[in-house]
Amino acid sequence: MASKNYLTGLFGTSPVAPIQEHMTLVDECVSKLVDLFEFMSKGDVESVENVYHQIAELEQKADDKKHFLREHLPTGLFMPIERQDLLDALRVQDLLANRARDIAGIVVGRKLKFPEQASTRVIELVKATVETCHQALKVVNELDELVETGFRGRAVHVVEEMLIDLDNLESATDRIQVDLRADLFAVEKELYAVDVMFMYRIIESIAEIADDAERVGRRFQLMLAK
Amino acid sequence: MDYGTTYLVLAVIFGLFMAWGIGANDVANAMATSVGSKAITIKQAVIIAAIFEFAGAILAGGQVTSTIRKGIVDVSGLGATPEILIYGMLAALLAAGTWLLVASFKGWPVSTTHSIVGSIVGFAIVGMGMDAVYWGKLGKIVMSWVTSPLLAGGISYMLFRSVQVIILDTEKPFENAKRYVPYYVFLVGFMLTLVTIMKGLKHIGLDLSMTDSILIAIGFGVLTTILGKYLVSRVKFDASADRSFHYANVEKIFGSLMVITACAMAFAHGSNDVANAIGPLAAINSIIQTGELSQKSALPMWVLLVGGVGIVLGLAMYGRKVIETVGSKITELTPSRGFCCTISAASTVVLASGMGLPISTTHTMVGAVLGVGMARGISSLNMDVVRGIFMSWVITLPIGGVLAIVFFFILKGFFA
């Protein structure tokens, strides 16, 4: 008799799990940068290339997840969070993976190797950036708790504290970045100019990953404020 | 009356079919919120539905039945031709059944109640004239279709907000849930008992005073609370469940009480929706038994039984599958949400039943779900369904009416 039922039609696809899965993929993708830079400093070209392929693959998976989520968010949905905030958060999350792939692409394509005086600090910067990304993932993973409490009360405080930590982690990457630029500046005259140019560009891109991880958190702050 | 027995047999068959359809399809919407939140199994849902739909129909279903039977049209003008009403009521059953078949096949949010009311009005206009319809009463009924989802939404919003403040948003949600959730079912026990005593028990010959009724209702409320306390006390805290989702154990507490709310919902549904099938049957029966148009005759028990049996049959033969399908698709409704929605929908429906207002249980449930959504409690709701409900309010009356008119003339041509 009944082939369709409108009570089931009332419930749309929940965006919570997909956006968390997307951020998990993105975080995994960005985390690979640590391996990439460590192999780079050891001069292990083959492993660097290997990691690049892993990063590209994860980025592709995240992309697919993004498209899936966009397709399942029609305008007629009534959600506890603004559709626009959610799509913005998704876009910024996706940007993180894109940047990671771009950085890996430059390192592989130009066979780049940071000078010895800067190589430990660049790994330090990458590690700090990955920490920021982990923290952003933690915030995104609180989304189901936020929905459960209806964006009120204790879960909100938990997330607000996480956001403060996220800010602090991002500031730490800024400080490392300044030092790293100084290190590089001290030795840049002895290096091939075009390579140096790309090194600065990579530093900038890594810093942007940390910035964007913070922006993911800020989107959540907007969701809480409503 | 020439064809007295034929009419009655036809009425019983149509009534049974209608009740069967309600049991097969409609009950799923009442039970699925409990099954969907995984708090009770499908088997449990079917057993609960069978018992409490039946109980609701017998104990509290009389008021709405009498509205369907004699509250919408004035039959005093028919005088010597009571057959008109028989054709009309048979036509109304056929029309509502047909329209529901089409609607449920297409997935339109059409209500059984609205269809039967539309059909009765339709045949009354043609068979007895515009003046035969109690337009004032009809207006009240139609208004209740709008107000019942709104009321359920308001109640579920407030219930959910209170659950947030008292339980979810506190430092120790598990302990607070354990302490306070049983008191919510007091409301369920109290409401259902009060309406049943005040409006339903007259049919089985009991008439109690207001104070007695309230005292008994409080007694039943306390009993359900004690039962709730017992069910909650059996929930054990499982630390591993909370690792990925901090509210897993809290949800388990709400889940343990879904058995009670599911019973309430089945009872409420039985009290309101059975009338759609047996109201016309009751009207036909009273004409055939007395040979005249009596507005006063009592509702015989066997008529209620036909409705109850039809629902249980539909449930056993087909409803089980529908409950399973619907339940598996609304997993977004976690026990805490399902709990608030079911309590508010059941209370609203029982209240309407007590007032003799035939409303749509499913629309009321949708209203309750939206109420929780308004409190930012559900991750995504599809508003197209709500638009569909608005549309169904507008089109069901005329379509039910037109179909009933067609069947009315066919039956009249056949028998007269």
CA distances from B29 to B260, B263, B265, B323, B331 (A): 17, 13, 10, 7, 14
Do the domain assignments include residue A154?
yes
Q: Is B380 within 8 Å of A154 when comparing Cβ atoms?
A: no
CA of B408, closest CA in chain A: separation in Å?
A: 25
Do the domain assignments include residue A5?
no
Q: Give the CATH number for residue A200.
A: 1.20.58.220
B183-214 CB burial, b ≥16 within 10 A, e <16: ebbbbbbbbbbbbbbbbbbebeeeeeeeeebb
In B77-209, where do the E strands start and end? Answer: none
Nearest Cα residue in chain A from B317: A1
Do the domain assignments include residue A28?
yes
pLDDT confidence tier of residue B288, bands split at 50, 70 and 90: confident
Q: How far apart are CA B330 and CA B302, in angstroms?
A: 37
CA of A159, closest CA in chain B: separation in Å?
A: 13
Residues of chain A contacting residue B101, judged by C-beta atoms under 8 Å apart: 1
CA of A129, closest CA in chain B: separation in Å?
A: 25
Do the domain assignments include residue A128?
yes
The predicted-structure confidence for B335-391, as pLDDT tens digits, reads as follows: 999 999 999 999 999 989 888 899 999 899 999 999 999 998 888 898 888 888 888
Say what the pLDDT of residue B386 is: 86
Q: Is B382 within 8 Å of A145 when comparing Cβ atoms?
A: no
Name the residue facing A153 among B169, B326, B333 (closest C-beta): B169
Do the domain assignments include residue A4?
no
A91 CB-contact burial (10 Å; exposed 0-12 / middle 13-18 / buried 19+):
middle
The predicted-structure confidence for B186-201, as pLDDT tens digits, reads as follows: 988 998 888 888 766 6
Q: How many domains does chain A have?
A: 1
Domain boundaries, position A102: 14-225
Residues of chain A contacting residue B388, judged by C-beta atoms under 8 Å apart: 6
pLDDT confidence tier of residue A170, bands split at 50, 70 and 90: very high
Q: How far apart are CA B296 and CA A208, in angstroms?
A: 81
User: Taking the complete model, does pTM exceed 0.95, yes or no?
Assistant: no
Of the residues A3, A4, A5, the best mutation for testing chain B's interface (the one with the most B CB atoms within 10 Å of its CB) is A5
Q: How far apart are CA B363 and CA B361, in angstroms?
A: 6
Do the domain assignments include residue A7?
no
When mean pLDDT is compared across A130-139, B41-50, B200-209, B276-285, the lowest value belongs to: B200-209
Say what the pLDDT of residue B320 is: 84
Do the domain assignments include residue A170?
yes
Q: How far apart are CA B373 and CA A8, in angstroms?
A: 15
Q: Is A15 within 8 Å of B379 when comparing Cβ atoms?
A: yes
Do the domain assignments include residue A2?
no
The secondary structure of B247-263 as a DSSP string is THHHHHHHHHTHHHHHH
